[in-house]
Amino acid sequence: MLNKKDKNQTRLKRHYRMRKNIVGTPDRPRLNVYRSSKHIYAQVIDDATGITLVSASTQEKELKDKVAELTKSDAAKLIGKTVGERAKEKGIDTVIFDRGGYLYHGRVKLLADGARESGLEF
Could you report the per-residue pLDDT of 57-95, keeping only the tens digit for each?
Answer: 999 999 999 999 999 999 999 999 999 999 999 999 999
Residue 12 lies in a domain: no
Residue 84 within any structural domain of the chain: yes
Spatial CB neighbours of 39, under 8 Å, sequence gap ≥ 6 = 57, 58, 59
27 is a domain residue: yes
Write the pLDDT tens digit of every residue in 39-50. 999 999 999 999
- In the chain, beta strands by DSSP E: 30-35, 40-46, 51-57, 96-98
71: β partners: none
CATH number where 87 lies: 3.30.420.100
- Whether residue 26 lies inside any domain: the answer is yes
3 found inside a domain: no
- What are the b/e assignments for 48-69, b being 16+ CB within 10 Å? eeeeebbbbbbeeeebeeebee
Residue 4 lies in a domain: no
48 found inside a domain: yes
